[in-house]
Structure 1
Amino acid sequence: MVVSENGNSPFTYVIVDNQMKTRTCIFTPGYPGMVPEDLSKSSLCSALDDASLVYFDGRFHETALVVAEEASQRKISILIDAERKREGLDDLLNLATYLVCSEKFPQAWTTAPSIPSALVSILLRLPNIKFVIATLGDKGCVMLERSINEASEMAETNVESLLESLRQKVDRNVTIPTCISSKSSLRVSADGIGAVSGRLLMCTAEVVPPLELIDTTGAGDAFIGAVLYALCAGMPPEKMLPFASQVAAVGCRALGARSGLPRRTDPRLAPFWH
């Protein structure tokens, strides 16, 4: 941890509306911002020793890029949390292994006409990315995973039609997060954009009863934290997505971003350890 003498940490006031189940965040940035000179080479190397995964949220991009470049040289996987377009984010994305983004980011970054087509565009523009996930709030999430092996006889399927077919397979009577996956041997295409070899996965969000829904603050961060855990634990995407959705939903049942987060021993997570 790097400490700036006489500096201030960033903080946020969060106002939660109990009736409407909404929140308002009032953010105060920290000062001074972290710059590459704040991070010595020895500190950087020590921080990355034995690391298997490095996470960035796009802030302090100049310093983040120094860390990302060192991680890339060490063949350490990099996960980027892309909430919105930020200065310097493209440089980080070029080094990324995994991308998790907000609902609005894919189209904003690619100018594609829809989220599914934007995911295809992202994999085409970022050839090092293994998968991209777009979180959709109470609508769950959608993921496009790149295939390791590409065969010439792969069937080509339009991504819009593919996502619709997955949605039709969802059992609306099931309230827990459920993942539906396409076949792995597909050429997933988007009109006017191109095609990638991969598979599309969609996962529903847990249906949280209104009386149990307290505060959605930090739900996206909880989701990403669970994805990081799942990657380190070697979970396949079919298990990772509902696991992350479950962790996020559990966290929404208490006030604040941390107080409701589940422990590994939480019985609601028991199905994911088998």
Structure 2
Amino acid sequence: MISVFGSANMDLVAYVDQAPKRGETVTGRMFRTVPGGKGANQAIAAARAGTEVSFLGAVGDDAFGAEIRDTLAVAGVNVERLRQVPGPSGIAHIVVDDDGGNSIIVVPGANGQVTAPSEEERAVIAASASVLLQLELPMEAVIGAARAAREAGVPAVLTPAPAQPLPDELLDAVALIVPNEHEAAAITGAADPGEALSRLLERVPEVVITLGSEGALYGSRSGERLRVPAVQVEAVDTTAAGDTFVGALAVARAEGRPAEEALRFASAAAALSVQREGASTSMPSRAEIDAAL
């Protein structure tokens, strides 16, 4: 079982030919509301990739919260420990252009009320093969979950997004960090992904840097280094590609796959996701991933 301690949002997605510049108004061609948030996305991706998943986080007492909970449950995610708190759920305003690129504004809502893992949530983490963390919850909550994992001997996998300074007390408790190339550069100050990988390994035992259409880099303190190419496809919407990659990667690692095989599994899942619109709606099933491989 994998646990995810993270954010749940309702994605408000506008599709446009070209994203507006500051002060500019453009006409969109479609609008959708899709449950998302990096935590919920990773939970759904992992569940669809073939494992039991428990989601730990919070939604509001609004209609969005009920829809997010239902979406997670339908995807096979255990939501017994998903909190409901007073007020609105988190939302993400997303603009997707015709090249498949996106820009996102996140309003935390209920996610901002999660300041530490509860005793029940700590017990779920302790029973997990790994716990997936992101940075859309307050930092003190993420640190608390990472520490709970370390104390239980459970690997904590961190997606450092949105990019921000990472305190040593967090990284000391993380087993694997999975930034994209822009996040890796922001964290380390190194524009070259290979150099960023080396710098991150000074702080975390294992590192995967995703490079979009260029694939992914992997490194560990044991000295292993890998570069796995991406599956080349025509992207429609890249919104949840990184979360799909991380969820599938966690499943492959839980199954005991070696690093290169796990990365290829995750890359195949991400490639499938970018060929579809939406976040949680774009994530492939285990059968689809296996067929793509």
Cross-structure match for 1:12 = 92
SS in 1 for 2:157: strand
Alignment counterpart, residue 55 of structure 1, candidates 122, 125, 132: 132
Listed one character per residue, the Cα deviations across residues 211-240 of structure 1 (whole Å, up to 9, x for unaligned) are: xx3211100110111111111111111111
The CA deviation at 1:136 is 0.9
Residues 85/253 of structure 1: CA separation in 2 closer, same or farther (3 Å cut): closer
Residues 112/217 of structure 1: CA separation in 2 closer, same or farther (3 Å cut): closer
Whether contact under 8 Å (2:164, 2:187) holds in the other structure is: no
Cross-structure match for 2:175 = 97
Listed one character per residue, the Cα deviations across residues 65-95 of structure 1 (whole Å, up to 9, x for unaligned) are: 2222122111111111113543554421111
For residues 1-274 of structure 1, what are the structure 2 equivalents within 5 Å?
1-18=81-98, 20-31=99-110, 33-36=112-115, 39-41=117-119, 43-58=120-135, 59-86=137-164, 89-112=167-190, 114-124=192-202, 126=203, 129-147=204-222, 198-208=223-233, 210=234, 213-266=235-288, 268-270=289-291
SS in 1 for 2:112: coil
Deviation beyond 6 Å, 4+ runs, structure 1: none
- Taking structure 1 as the reference length, the TM-score comes to 0.70
- Taking structure 2 as the reference length, the TM-score comes to 0.65
Q: Distance in 2 between matches of 1:32 and 1:241?
A: 30
Query: 25-34 or 102-111: which moved more?
Result: 25-34
Whether contact under 8 Å (2:126, 2:148) holds in the other structure is: no
Whether contact under 8 Å (1:84, 1:102) holds in the other structure is: no
Structure 1: stretches of 5+ with no match in the other structure = 148-197
Listed one character per residue, the Cα deviations across residues 16-53 of structure 1 (whole Å, up to 9, x for unaligned) are: 223x332232322214723446x432x13432242121
Q: Distance in 2 between matches of 1:254 and 1:92?
A: 34
Query: 7-16 or 97-106: which moved more?
Result: 7-16
Structure 2 letter corresponding to 1:202: R
Residues 34/206 of structure 1: CA separation in 2 closer, same or farther (3 Å cut): same
The CA deviation at 1:253 is 1.4
SS in 1 for 2:85: coil
SS in 2 for 1:101: coil
Cross-structure match for 2:20 = none
Listed one character per residue, the Cα deviations across residues 131-160 of structure 1 (whole Å, up to 9, x for unaligned) are: 20111111111111221xxxxxxxxxxxxx
Q: Distance in 1 between matches of 2:133 and 2:121?
A: 14
Q: How many correspondences in the alignment?
A: 212
> What percentage of aligned pairs have identical amino acids?
28
Higher relative contact order (CA 8 A, sep 6+): 2
Residues 63/247 of structure 1: CA separation in 2 closer, same or farther (3 Å cut): same
Structure 2 letter corresponding to 1:140: G
Whether contact under 8 Å (1:34, 1:63) holds in the other structure is: no
Q: Distance in 2 between matches of 1:50 and 1:9?
A: 28
Residues 116/29 of structure 1: CA separation in 2 closer, same or farther (3 Å cut): same
